[in-house]
Structure 1
Amino acid sequence: MGSPGTALHGGVLARGSLRQRAGRRLGALPGAGTVSPQRIQRRRTKGWRMPEDAVYVGRGTRWGNPYRVGYTQVRMPALDGSEWELEGRGGKTSGQRHPFHHPGGTFEKPIISLHQVEDATAEQCVELYRRLLASRTAMRLNARALAGTDLACWCPLDQPCHADVLIALANPPGERQGP
């Protein structure tokens, strides 16, 4: 679809690959300074347009965070003794204590612990996304294609966002941007 060098990206036909667009954005001209990638909040206000070289990384894209505030649940404390972990069992009521039957127990001597189940906060959803990326090598390697690119998401700029995780992963500190 489209002419050579075009790609469907975030629902918009964009010229060039991510790396080519990032190179143009970062000032591929000799002597041009580098610009750090940033997170951009998408808006629905009339007349607002996402910058041409920005990449949308919200839900529905390969970079979207599957953990949603208000839907994702965490249990406290975690089974490994840490402060919290993802509650993988669906259908639990947030704000209540639920029993967890540990697999090491028997029918006569069950091992049961009680855990508080709560809706995940924005910080917890971002941390869960960070853990997801850490467990998926291919996704981590593909994130390098976002190097030098502004990322757009719906999250307010004053709150944690998975786009910050992607920016940090794609642009490690000390690595020079651009040509």
Structure 2
Amino acid sequence: MKVQSTSPLPKRIQLKRARGWRKPEGSVVITRSSRYGNPFKIGDPGPDGTPMTREEVCRRFECEALPNISAADMEFLRGRDVVCFCKLEDMCHGDILLRRANQETHSSELCTGNPVPQDEVDVEH
């Protein structure tokens, strides 16, 4: 049986190491060590040799890593909250996963250089 979030729209939740904090039931951890993690790191050299920014690592995730995530894995994420360490006010590959897993069409807005507006991303503190 698939456990889905009780909130109307899935959201990104910031993973915390605080004593007593628990991952919400049914949410999926998408940290770097998970199958959904972003292999691209802020500050690592990009294709042109300069350090990559947050926007660049998110774009590279969408253009290069996301196509390798199976349809079954994307279906598993549909309707679920995702949990990572990124600050909620910062862009994150989790925003891309949420958008892709919960939409009918699969456009690659970041691959065309158009960043995802932060007001389209639902986040929870």
Fold in common (TM above 0.5): yes
Q: Which has the higher strand share?
A: 1
1:1-179 paired onto structure 2 within 5 Å: 16=1, 20-22=2-4, 25-26=5-6, 35-71=8-44, 73-74=45-46, 86-87=47-48, 117-133=49-65, 135-136=67-68, 139-141=69-71, 142-172=73-103
Q: How far apart are 1:134 and its partner, in Å?
A: 5.2
TM-score by length of 2: 0.74
RMSD over equivalenced CA pairs, Å? 1.9
Percentage of identical aligned residues: 30
Query: Does the CA contact (< 8 Å) of 2:38 and 2:65 recur in 1?
Result: no
SS state at 1:52 partner: coil
Q: Which runs of 5 or more structure 1 residues have no equivalent in the other structure?
A: 1-15, 27-33, 75-85, 88-116, 175-179
Question: Where does structure 2 lack aligned partners over 5 or more consecutive residues?
Answer: 106-125
The CA distance in 2 between the partners of 1:146 and 1:68, in whole Å, is 22
- Structure 1: distance between partners of 2:87 and 2:75: 24
Structure scoring higher RCO (CA < 8 A, sep ≥ 6) equals 2
Name the count of aligned residue pairs. 104
Shift, 1:167, TM fit? 0.3
> Which of the pair has more CA radius of gyration?
1
Separation in structure 2 between the aligned mates of residue 164 and residue 54 of structure 1, nearest angstrom:
14
